[in-house]
Chain A
Amino acid sequence: MSTTTLPDSLTRRVPGGDAGIIIATLAATYLAYVLIGIGLGYSLRGQLNTIAVLTFYIGVFAMLALALNLHWGYTGLFNIGIVGFMAVGIYVMALVSKPVYQAGGASQVGGLGLPVIIGIIAGMIAASLLGLLIALPALRLRADYLAIVTIAMSEIVRFSFLSGQLQQFNLAGRRVGFGGGSGLILDYTDPLESFFSFFGLWDAYLGLIETFGIIIPNNPKPVVDGLVYGVVLLSFVGLYFWLLKRTGESPFGRVLKAIREDEEAASSLGKDTNGFKIKAFMLGCALMGLAGILWFMRSGAVTPNTFRPRITFFVWIALIIGGAGSNTGSVLGGAIFAALLYQGPRYLKNLLDTVLPSASSPSSFGPAIAPLISNLDITPLLFYTIDNIRQLQLVFMGVVLIWLMHNRPEGLLGHRTETASPITLSAPIAQTVASESRSTTADADTDPDPDATEDIAPDGGSNSTTDSNNGGINSNE
């Protein structure tokens, strides 16, 4: 065992470090999507739309995985109620930002008519307060009990928004509500428009759309909106990453890690572990609320049944792929999950539909399998499979999870050294000490990847320390 794990050496080899890995992965993903699109003759509009949708899902899953990483990866809080915090975020945001009720409007209920930004802040605060409400009793429980409480909460939230009681009520003399099972129309001004208007850039934005009219003559606005919103989401991913990296690489993050490893040990060192857990939990919940808002705020309407636990498990899969405990891994996991497991199968199906427009797939499993048995004709089964790819998606996810659990349970970048300190933690005089102990224990080098160590040796002092550690340990045992 060594502190230079495979992900470490990989990270160091990619130019640009963490940002380099993320950018390279995103670039490869987009390239693959574009190439497949070109190869199959997608129109430019189709290509741009595909990219916009892909970016959207990469953005939301990366944000959610980052927020979950704060809970699970850093603090060891087993939160499987993510979707509940998302729902509270978007619903409270809608309540605050929807225009005031007017008789005869499309919407059955109104809102408080406040600006979208206030709605977003209110949604985040509501999500974090819900987190506090759960945390106070539940964080005293062991990890698995917190899991039960959170998933129950997320279902309670969904049923609350479904209930007739909350469908419509009066708040400060205004007719407001959550719309119940029939959903809530998000009839505020398009947040993109509010955003650009706020900076006085709305006209410039419309100009940009007109310019796009040159390459997409027919109604370019939805395409441009989608692309620009994708960029907005990616900026939010950057913001989340920055925030959580600073949170993790600090004495605060160090206490969180200690709680994850052994809460009793942390409290025996004088750390108020419950206080730290509540803060971390609330921060993560607020970020999940914000991710929920960003996911659904431009969707026109929301219904409670969107917020089923499956979204929670999607986020967990993303985090597990990326590697719990690593922020970079969370972003990667979100991106890979969105590109390959979430959007990939749908994209594949759309493509095949385009390529083989004439193919009619059997309507049920019987007719699909019969030709295979009677005259070894596999085509109907193939079409049937492709046609049902959205259902099969969950099977793919399960297979990927099982494979990961067997072969790489720590995910792509798990067990990676992301030191919990704002400064580089190494000995003030490490070089001399390291080289001494190295020479006395040269025979005990058990580094699993000596090549990697050599590759990176020229660029820093800390490597020599790392290398010698193996020897040190063995000699002492």
Chain B
Amino acid sequence: MGVSTQMSDVERGSQSEQSLSSDLSIDTDGTDIDTATTHPLVVENLQKSFGGITAVDNASFEVEAGTLTGLIGPNGAGKSTTFNLITGTLTPDSGTVRFNDEDITGATPHDVANRGLVRTFQIARELEEMTVLENMMLAPKRQRGEALWRSVVPGFRSDVAEQETELLDRVWDVIEFFEIDHIADEYAGNLSGGQRKLLELARALLTDPDMLLLDEPFAGVNPSLERRLLEHIHELREQGYTFLLVEHDMDLIMENCEHVIVLHQGRVLTEGSPDEVRGDEDVIEAYLGGTV
């Protein structure tokens, strides 16, 4: 890659930095992230087996832009496997995953993330022996200093430092938005479970994503932090981010999502608005354990 293209990357990066920081000033004029399609994520006929067990069986669904979509299902329904297939941690046996009209089936996790589809983990993956600030500073894309030579060769390092100062400002905006500024210098490993979830969401946001996949973001989080997390998610959704949420807690999904997809035994059992799903006989059966 030539220097000129890298420069333009950096410029684009700083533009999106500005748009994010204006987002974070809670400017609720709606969708300013303009995706090419109204359905950024399209999953078609996804299939994955482990040995003789089919974890995901011909699953197809779409996620509409700017929504908070819930993905629910009983234990073993294939929710986490679906997530892993979408984000490149696992490769599907067949089927396709499309994101923003591009085929990302089988792409590497970092490639998927760089295209703007960023996930968080069921068990928070904070980087323990790095401070909260370091964790956050890691996330932004197109950092000049990630090229080894530029960080080392005298004369170029001031460029890196300059960008770091810009990044720090942007990171600090996000830290304040999530109200974790008082623990900014703390090692991430010393945080409570809920704070880790906040950190993870904040970090994912700093990669400047179009869409966030949250894997059980409320597991092990106390009720007050859960409310805070939900507030943040709603606020971000109003700013135009798209969310796909895996969650165990039916009530939580029903209260907060516009659209719900129900997985059962690796298949999409049904999907629709929370009310539609709630009334669905199959869903009741799957959850309450009718004839399976």
Which chain A residues have a beta carbon within 8 Å of chain B's beta carbons? Answer: 1, 3, 243, 246-247, 250-255, 257-258, 260-262, 264-273, 276, 279, 283, 325, 415, 417, 419-423, 425-430, 433-434, 437, 462, 465-466, 468-469, 472-473, 476-477
Contact = CB atoms under 8 A, between A and B. Distances in A.
A252 B138 CA distance: 9
Contacts of B185: 3, 425-426, 462, 465-466, 469
A268 B107 CA distance: 12
Contact of A252 (B151, B181, B182): B151
B195 interface: yes
Contact of A469 (B118, B152, B182): B182
Interface stretch (B39-47, B142-150, B267-275): B142-150
A265 B127 contact: yes
B145 A251 contact: yes
Nearest to A272: B110
A265 B121 contact: yes
Interface on chain A toward B: helix, strand, loop, or mixed SS?
Answer: helix
Contacts of A433: 181-182
Interface of B: 87, 89, 108-110, 113-114, 118-121, 125-131, 133-134, 137-139, 141, 143-148, 151-152, 157, 160-161, 164-165, 168-169, 172, 175, 181-187, 190-192, 194-195, 203-204, 207
Could you tell me the dominant secondary structure of chain B's interface residues? helix
B134 A425 contact: yes
Nearest to B142: A270
B251 to A, nearest CB: 25
B131 A3 contact: yes
Contact of B130 (A261, A269, A423): A261
Contacts of B109: 264, 267-268
Contacts of A254: 130, 134, 137-138
B145 A261 contact: no
B230 to A, nearest CB: 17
14 contacts: A1-B190, A258-B130, A265-B126, A267-B109, A270-B113, A270-B114, A270-B118, A273-B110, A276-B146, A422-B151, A425-B137, A426-B133, A427-B181, A437-B182
A476 B141 contact: no
B134 A477 contact: no
Contacts of B87: 268
Contacts of B130: 254, 257-258, 261, 420
B168 A269 contact: no
B228 to A, nearest CB: 11
Among B139, B151, B168, the most chain A Cβ lie within 10 Å of the Cβ of: B151
Nearest to B188: A261
B110 A267 contact: yes
Contacts of A246: 151-152, 157
Contacts of A477: 192
Contacts of B141: 270
Contacts of B108: 267, 272
B161 A422 contact: yes
A412 B256 CA distance: 51
6 interchain residue pairs of minimum CB distance: A250-B151, A251-B145, A270-B113, A265-B125, A472-B182, A261-B127
A415 B119 contact: no
Contacts of A269: 110, 113, 118, 138-139, 203-204, 207
Given A252-B145, A428-B172, 8 more contacts: A3-B187, A247-B151, A251-B138, A255-B146, A269-B118, A269-B139, A473-B191, A473-B195
Nearest to A253: B151
A371 B110 CA distance: 70
A423 B168 contact: yes
Contacts of B131: 3, 417, 419, 425
Interface centre among A246, A251, A422, A433 (most CB of B within 10 A): A251
A469 B133 CA distance: 13
